[in-house]
Amino acid sequence: MTAATASQAFVDAAAAMVQQDDVADTLTRLLADCAKFTAADAIGLLVKHEDGSLEILSATSHHAAQLELYQLQQDSGPCVDVAQNGSALSVAGDAELVERWGRVGEAIIAAGYHAVHAVPLRWHGRLIGAMNAFHSAPETADGEAEQLTQAFADIAAVVIIQSHELTPGQLDERIRTALAGRTVIEQAKGVLAQLSRVDMAAAYDLLVRRATDGGVSLTQAANGIIGEARKRP
């Protein structure tokens, strides 16, 4: 369930940080709220390890996650660029997307998106990742949307860190813990896809629905699905 207003989304994220330590679930909800209030069709989030390598941490859909993974494979794309140089960017139009990112631009277009807006995630001056908004309309983000997207990215950084004073090594461990939550979610998607005979995108929707209906976090729902699968003969 998404928040009614952007301010409510920030309040919800703050409450989640105080009440629980489920980073994957909190980020999933936060990204869904970001998409809603910035008129984005999908959001993806990459995190950056101490050695400079990038990894996907969260996305609003399976298709968005696949686009983020493709960027990592090609070492090219809006989220990769921002995660490496720390500067926000906004690119609109099919020709511009292909000219800038080649195959990645073509993949973005093939997925139904014709504009992207990406912003950095920072913590105490350290670049820890990037968040990418995909838009079906071929228009660059306006000033308000840019500021709001960055605000959501800033909250996402705080969610990952949980406001603790961390050393660089502890920060990287925090990121690895968050990534472990995403691994559980991906495993549960695979189980649901096999049991329900649906694709991974539909499996993700089933997982979100189960979490919402059960009043539990996405990670809790995923762990439950995996546990049930292990009990089957």
Q: Read off the pLDDT of residues 140-197 as tens digits, 9 standing for 90 and up.
A: 878 888 888 999 999 899 888 774 555 667 767 767 777 777 888 889 999 999 888 8
Tell which CATH architecture fits domain 7-163: 2-Layer Sandwich (3.30)
pLDDT at residue 24, rounded to an integer: 81
Taking 50 as the threshold, does the pLDDT of residue 212 lie above it? Answer: yes
Spatial distance between the Cα atoms of 5 and 233, rounded to a whole number of angstroms: 46
- The torsion angles phi and psi of 145, rounded to 5 degrees, stand at -65, -40
Confidence of residue 55 (pLDDT cuts 50, 70, 90): very high
CA pseudo-torsion sign 201, 203, 208, 212: positive
Q: What is the pLDDT of residues 93-129, one digit of tens each?
A: 999 999 999 999 999 999 999 999 999 999 888 899 9
Question: How many Cβ atoms sit within 10 Å of the Cβ of residue 232?
Answer: 7
Query: Which DSSP category does 162 fall into?
Result: T
Domain ranges of the chain: 7-163
Taking 60 as the threshold, does the pLDDT of residue 218 lie above it? Answer: yes
Residue type, 166: L
pLDDT at residue 76, rounded to an integer: 97
The gap between the terminal CA atoms of the chain, to the nearest Å, is 34
Asked whether 121 and 150 are in contact (CB, 8 A), the reply is: no
Asked whether 178 and 128 are in contact (CB, 8 A), the reply is: no
pLDDT at residue 181, rounded to an integer: 78
Instruction: Please report, rounded to a whole number, the percentage of residues in the chain having pLDDT higher than 90.
Output: 41
Determine the distance from the C-alpha atom of residue 61 to the mean position of all C-alpha atoms in its chain, rounded to a whole number. 9
Long-range contacts of the stretch 199-202 (C-beta < 8 A, 24+): 199/62, 200/62, 201/61, 201/62, 201/63
More confident residue, 11 or 64: 64
